[in-house]
Amino acid sequence: MQESVIYQDIWQKGEQKEALKFCMFLLNERFGEIDSSIIERVQVLNKEKLEALGRALLRISSIADLFIWLDQQERS
């Protein structure tokens, strides 16, 4: 069962959803209420980029830095 394509898809979507939830929590803790334009950009990140965002938030100190990071992710 765990090797089925459907199972793997459900598992990956669950992991992506949890990573998104955690990143949104971190962003809200760090910067307070987040603008909807940022939320939209974060919601389209895949799990790997969400994990990278979680690590990057240790270095990101402003919303401007966050926009720069998001711009870099969209180009890569």
pLDDT (tens place) for every residue of the chain, 76 residues total = 556 787 777 777 788 899 999 999 999 999 999 999 999 999 999 999 999 999 999 999 999 999 999 999 998 8
What the block records as the tokens of 3 is 């090797």
Q: How many domains does the chain have?
A: 1
Question: Residue 32: left if φ>0, alpha if ψ -120 to 50, beta else—which one?
Answer: left
Per-residue DSSP letter, 3: T
Contact 28, 56 (CB under 8 A): no
Domain that holds residue 34: 5-75
User: Considering the entire predicted model, what is its pTM?
Assistant: 0.82
